[in-house]
Amino acid sequence: MTELTRRAALAGVAATTLMPLSMTPARANAPQADKQAPSFYRYNVGTHQITVVCDGVTVVSRPDNYVANASKDEVSKVFADNYMPADKATQSYSPIVVNTGSKLVVIDTGLGPTNFEQSKGRVGQFQTNLAAAGIDRNSVDTVIISHFHGDHINGLLAADNKSAYPNAEIMVPSAEWKFWMDDGEMSKGTGNPILEGNFKNARRVFDALGRKVTQYDAGKEIAPGITSVASPGHTPGHTSYIVASGSDKLLVQVDITAGAAFLFVKNPDWQLLFDVDKPLAVQTRRKLYDMAIAEKMPIQAFHAGFPGHVRVEKDGNGYRWVPALWNTSL
């Protein structure tokens, strides 16, 4: 034994001997937790309040063409560089609620109760986390849908297949409705399993609601302080939003970068398998990010992890996200 370890050992003995009984260390036999705290997070934009309500995270097997114009190895490397499983796609989902002061507005609804059950609660958490945040879905005035992919519309329905927001006006982009609800467009998508699945799913959800929706156009104030911004490419009517109150502004980017979104922040020219018009999605992505940078506008991103409140900066030929500091008070 070296002098140092001998002294340390003696000091240890002395400390134990001198410790009063009341200070006996706790035994490590308390049960370990099997779930996280409910995930919701609030911040203010002027007098509007944003509540980000997590819908969950998935780690799914990744098709080789997950990025249409990059090799499987190139994509695997970016996952590995970000300390995620290289052969999988890790994706997170974060819808938001905006309390404008006069209206309670939900923007997108997550993967819904069926996925909640099938995934044993890993995704489709929006409705339970909403309740945990103290927000009663019966008191929601407006639900704004950005586009018709399942992770944004499935949560329109509750577990009983009825409206999850029975007192809300459901607002959808008119360009999105025109595309996905059109039988001619649906028949053109035959043979493409991704498109086919999305056409069928949109009908399943909106038919359950009796197709009772209000269509809105881009470039309009569709709720107090919430303006729709045309962002086509990911889907034909994909829409982002600017939430403005006083001198504060927030860009709600939704799926400008989608799926494992960080891939497309670093490599904005990469084309996600699920982008319907891939070159247009790339163009829209650069346009909106350049606008956010020029206007120094913070971003709320649907697929940016939780809470997904970030700023975007130029980084070489691409961009990088800088997460906002986690605020413990409002």
Name the residues that contact Zn ion, by CB under 5 A. Answer: 151, 255, 258
| Whole-number Cα distances in Å, 182 to 33, 159, 186, 204, 323 | 48, 27, 6, 14, 39
What's the closest the beta carbon of residue 48 comes to Zn ion, in angstroms? Answer: 23
What's the closest the beta carbon of residue 255 comes to Zn ion, in angstroms? Answer: 4
From the list 112, 211, 209, the residue with the least C-alpha distance to 162 is 209
From the list 227, 123, 133, 117, the residue with the least C-alpha distance to 171 is 227
- Cα 148 to Cα 237: distance, rounded to the nearest angstrom: 9
Measured from the CB atom, the residue of 151 and 275 that comes closer to Zn ion is 151
Query: Under a CB-based contact definition with an 8 Å cutoff, are residues 139 and 104 in contact?
Result: yes
Which two tokens mark 127?
């409705």
What's the closest the beta carbon of residue 18 comes to Zn ion, in angstroms? Answer: 60
- Cα 286 to Cα 306: distance, rounded to the nearest angstrom: 23
Query: Under a CB-based contact definition with an 8 Å cutoff, are residues 95 and 55 in contact?
Result: yes
What's the closest the beta carbon of residue 66 comes to Zn ion, in angstroms? Answer: 14
What's the closest the beta carbon of residue 108 comes to Zn ion, in angstroms? Answer: 8
Phi first, then psi: give them for residue 278, nearest 5 degrees: -65, -50
What's the closest the beta carbon of residue 151 comes to Zn ion, in angstroms? Answer: 4
Measured from the CB atom, the residue of 97 and 260 that comes closer to Zn ion is 260
Measured from the CB atom, the residue of 79 and 275 that comes closer to Zn ion is 275
Measured from the CB atom, the residue of 197 and 246 that comes closer to Zn ion is 197
Measured from the CB atom, the residue of 186 and 275 that comes closer to Zn ion is 275
Q: DSSP letter string over 123-174?
A: B--HHHHHHHTT--GGG--EEE----SHHHHGGGB-TTSSBSSTTSEEEEEH
What's the closest the beta carbon of residue 153 comes to Zn ion, in angstroms? Answer: 10
Measured from the CB atom, the residue of 157 and 244 that comes closer to Zn ion is 157
What's the closest the beta carbon of residue 115 comes to Zn ion, in angstroms? Answer: 13
Measured from the CB atom, the residue of 151 and 176 that comes closer to Zn ion is 151
From the list 221, 303, 223, 294, the residue with the least C-alpha distance to 255 is 303
Q: Which residue has the tokens 């034909």?
A: 236
Measured from the CB atom, the residue of 99 and 230 that comes closer to Zn ion is 230
Measured from the CB atom, the residue of 255 and 275 that comes closer to Zn ion is 255
| Whole-number Cα distances in Å, 326 to 40, 288, 298, 329, 330 | 12, 24, 14, 9, 11
- Cα 109 to Cα 154: distance, rounded to the nearest angstrom: 7
What's the closest the beta carbon of residue 167 comes to Zn ion, in angstroms? Answer: 26
Exposed / middle / buried, residue 317 (Cβ in 10 Å: 0-12, 13-18, 19+) = exposed
| Whole-number Cα distances in Å, 52 to 21, 44, 110, 286 | 47, 11, 12, 24
